[in-house]
Amino acid sequence: MAWPALFNEPLLREVSSHSKTLATTLSLTLLVSLLIARRNQNDPSKPPLIYETIPYVSNIWQYVVGKRLFFRRVSKVLETTPLVQCRMGPISIYFVSGGSYLSALFKSSFITQPSIIRVIDYSAGYEASDVAKFAADDSGSAHVPLRGSNVGSDDRIWHAMHRLHSETLLSSAAANAFAAAFQDYFSQELATSGRWIGRPGEWATTEISSFLRKHMMAAATKSIVGPSIYDMSPDFDDAFWKYEPQVETLAFGLPDWMTKAGLKARDEMRAIWRRWYEATDAKYDWSNSHDDVDLDPVFGSRISKGLARMGKSFGFSNETMGASYAIFLVGVHTNTIATCTWIVMELIKDPSLWRAVEEEVLEAQYFDHTGLKLNVEKLVSQPLLQSVYAEILRLYSRFLIARTATESVTVCGYTLPKGSTVMTPVEASHLREDIWGAPSHPASEFWAARHIVEIEAQDEHGSTTKRKEYSLGDRKKFFLPYGGGLSMCPGRNIGKVEVILCVSMLVQAFEVDFSSVEWVKEDGSPSERPASDEDLYSNAMTIHPDREMRVRWRKL
């Protein structure tokens, strides 16, 4: 549940102006680039440069037209050196490898605010006057303002946002409240009989990705803001999935004529949430507000009401409030639904794995006055479920962690100037063979038991027993699906609960005909291969499958 981590101010500004300055850049580059490149390549005081066929041109061009190959090239170089310099047009980006080298990136000398401003401005469509409030606050997110800032306490918008996320998303109370709501709403979704579900006892053909995009999203959305959004906008699903793939491209701030489809999708989604906010705000009694209620009958969850309260305290327009809910829900859905889709596909591909997960789910079942329930605390502590969840995050959370230096900093022994943008592609840590590889299980492949260890213990009779536990061990510093530091994804606890609960409820509710699996393309035609990772989401969000899984199941 985090905004895409790719967007960094200097790189996006460069691409934003690319269409206007390309001819000038190319002509100047051809005159001076070879001399400058040759001089800097051998400068021992600077990190090694990533090679370019045409200096100042090749890297930015490959990034725009073939992002996947570009970051694989960066990751390969980072296997041999902890820090590299990469020219992206006229600017320099620094890439750092994972592990202990990454700790410098999470210190107070680095901030994420410039990248977030790009998102709220271009991707979300906040009004300019409200974007300016973020831009004017140079005090940072921490409790203590950054050195040299003169921003008053009432204008510390970054700290207010950080505090809101911490109080309404990170706590165990927030996770428990979300889990209770999601379990109820997803049970209602599964109780319906529609295209992908069928009636109890009857076989139905479902498409896993499409099913989750509709039913998992509906349950999670209602758990955050209540059910009224669907009452007011029955076409919410379609509008969301038109907008979601456009978020990254919009953040580049390209000319309107280049992003017509994205702007149209953004404006439609913003309008849906503006109408919802205006109607919800009008019927809410702010003079009698109770902040200790986990699920408010009007605004929904604490984070939903908190967003509204924060907007009022900083004087946001209704248009900006619509945009803030729209972009927040992208953060809620895009990573969790993709993660859940990959997990369900892997379980169906391997019937023995499905049955092993089913055993863990059975251990978490109990009955209350409403019927069969799942003990969420038990579920999220089950070793196999946790290992499968972590393995999917490791393979498909391939975003960038990006920070901007607020002062001159030393990284990996090199001094970088103030304003430097330093990134790490999560892929560089997550796919390292020397860290994650195991005999017969290369790091590039899914292995459900990769994060399970056997622990010996003595029972009350003194006998030695073995039990399985989930553990990342010493590899934890190379596991970065939530980012790191002060800007670590605040929704990580709720996201884990949502995915594991959704998977468990499906395993509990359905019998699968494992022999019926078909892989199909987006247009519905048969595919010659299973799902792979879709380049559209590479290094921006959790990667979505590029193929649909079609399978028969029946509700138990």
- Residues 481, 394: contact at Cβ < 8 Å? yes
For residue 401, what pLDDT is reported? 86
Average pLDDT of the chain?
A: 89
- pLDDT band of residue 42 (cuts 50, 70, 90) is low
> How far is Cα 135 from Cα 154, in angstroms, rounded to an integer?
15
- pLDDT band of residue 2 (cuts 50, 70, 90) is very low
> How far is Cα 17 from Cα 23, in angstroms, rounded to an integer?
11
Residue 542 DSSP symbol: B
Burial class (CB in 10 A: 0-12, 13-18, 19+), 355: exposed
> How far is Cα 113 from Cα 8, in angstroms, rounded to an integer?
9
- pLDDT band of residue 92 (cuts 50, 70, 90) is confident
Phi-psi region of 140 (alpha: psi -120 to 50; beta: other; left: phi over 0): left
**What are the domain boundaries of the chain?**
9-555
- Superfamily the domain 9-555 falls into: Cytochrome P450 (1.10.630.10)
High-pLDDT (> 90) share of the chain, %: 63
For residue 20, what pLDDT is reported? 46
* pLDDT tens digits along 326-374: 999 999 999 999 999 999 999 999 999 999 999 999 999 999 988 899 9
Min mean pLDDT across 156-160, 190-194, 212-216 is at: 190-194
The H or E element spanning position 88 is strand 83-88
- Residues 365, 508: contact at Cβ < 8 Å? yes
For residue 237, what pLDDT is reported? 95
Give CA angle at 520 (519, 524), nearest 5°: 155
- Residue pointed to by tokens 């479902």: 206
The mean per-residue pLDDT over the stretch 375-385 comes to 98
The H or E element spanning position 498 is helix 492-509
- pLDDT band of residue 178 (cuts 50, 70, 90) is very high
The verdict on whether residue 489 carries a ligand-binding annotation is yes
For residue 28, what pLDDT is reported? 45
> How far is Cα 102 from Cα 99, in angstroms, rounded to an integer?
6
* pLDDT tens digits along 6-39: 444 445 454 454 444 444 444 444 444 444 444 4
- pLDDT band of residue 41 (cuts 50, 70, 90) is low
- Residues 497, 178: contact at Cβ < 8 Å? yes
* pLDDT tens digits along 398-414: 888 888 888 898 889 89
For residue 507, what pLDDT is reported? 98
Instruction: Provide the Cα torsion 332, 336, 337, 343; round to 10°.
Output: -170
pLDDT at 56 over 90: no
Provide the β-strand partners of residue 533: 545
